[in-house]
Structure 1
Amino acid sequence: MTTGGDSEHTPGYEVARKALEQARAEAKAAGKQVGHGRTGPLAGSTRKTGDRKRRRWSGAGPDSRDPQPLGRLTGSIARARGWSSKINEGTVFASWEGIVGTDISAHAEPTALTDGVLHVSAESTAWATQLRYMQSQILAKIAAGVGDGVVKSLRITGPSAPSWRKGPLHVSGRGPRDTYG
């Protein structure tokens, strides 16, 4: 160590300490606040730009500019464009077996969803009757699986009756039952 003004033999840390003290003294004289913590953009400072607040540096935490999961992005786009109701309707058809169970889905399938009314076609009249008895339970399962208000009621139909109509020409009347005059 040297005493006096001999800067050739002064250690580097002493020179750095003196430079820091001098800079603090000059800043204090100019009226700026001097502290030991970080100042500037890395300390999380923000600036007002127009009507939005923008961070200058993202730092270690999550930021809106970071990559987002695809599901979250598609969900926000669907909500912004008003597609959520159509997506919920499609979910009813896509996950029908998961919602109502394998037993019911093996014997009935949804055919249309219009204005909150789900049209379900059963494979037999017996299954159609059974599904009508279970209608409130099926509606509760759909509300739990997809969301409340997507399906408000069910319209359950059995198989259609066979057509007696043969060929392109048709004469009105009772048809084949009217053979004995």
Structure 2
Amino acid sequence: MDNGETPDLVRSALTDARKLSRTLPGRRARTDTESRRRNRRDNLIGRNRGGYSGPGTDTSSDPQRIGSLLPAYMEERGWDRPLSEARVFADWLALVGADVAAHCTPQSLRAGELRVAAESTAWATQLRLLASTLLARLVTELGPDVVTKIIISGPSGPSWKHGNRSVRGARGPRDTYG
């Protein structure tokens, strides 16, 4: 076999294969336009099942506003209570009012017990008188289980007790000087 016969051999094999594929039963040759239509149809399968959704909102396929979806998402995840507890500290001014918030700050919230520190003993006394009103306002804004009790403390001096292993009866740093 010389180099001159090789291209003719390949061409004749290709021609025979094409003839054989056209003559197979149940198979017919496709035109270019039919082939393009079929490819487009195959590519679009599952894309737009119902067609155009129309001018109204369709909750299954149209994008939704996050504000309408977020409350259900938070409830599903169980984030309602932690977010309400965080609101006590973040929205303190709006929850209790500007006058009260100017003279006290929330310190901690554990098991429904809110600890509030007043800036002076006079404000601590005033807040103790207003405690039931503040509690009612917090319950209406945050829900009945977030804050169940308010403990108000006035200003206090520095504490020399640090940690669980401090000495009882010690007078602070001055008892070590002799």
Q: Judging by fraction of residues, say which structure has more helix.
A: 2
Q: Does 1:61 align with 2:56?
A: yes
Aligned to 1:74, which of 67, 70, 74? 70
- For structure 2, the 5+ residue unaligned runs are 1-48, 162-166
> What is the CA–CA distance in structure 2 between the aligned matches of 1:111 and 1:55, rounded to whole Å?
56
Tell me the SS of whatever aligns to 2:102: helix
> What is the CA–CA distance in structure 2 between the aligned matches of 1:71 and 1:142, rounded to whole Å?
24
Q: What is the one-letter code of the residue matched to 1:60?
A: P
Deviations 1:24-56 (A, max 9, x none): xxxxxxxxxxxxxxxxxxxxxxxxxxxxxx977
Tell me the SS of whatever aligns to 1:68: coil
Q: What is the one-letter code of the residue matched to 1:58?
A: S
> What is the CA–CA distance in structure 2 between the aligned matches of 1:63 and 1:105, rounded to whole Å?
45
Deviation of 1:63 after TM superposition, in Å, equals 1.9
Tell me the TM-score normalized by structure 1: 0.57
Deviations 1:49-88 (A, max 9, x none): xxxxx97763332222322222222222211110110011
Identity in percent = 47
Aligned to 1:135: 131
Aligned to 1:146: 142
> What is the CA–CA distance in structure 2 between the aligned matches of 1:147 and 1:132, rounded to whole Å?
21
Aligned to 1:108, which of 87, 104, 108? 104
* More divergent stretch after superposition (57-66 vs 116-125): 57-66
Q: Judging by fraction of residues, say which structure has more strand.
A: 1
Alpha-carbon RMSD: 3.1
Tell me the TM-score normalized by structure 2: 0.58
Deviation of 1:110 after TM superposition, in Å, equals 0.7
Deviations 1:76-106 (A, max 9, x none): 2211110110011111111111111111101
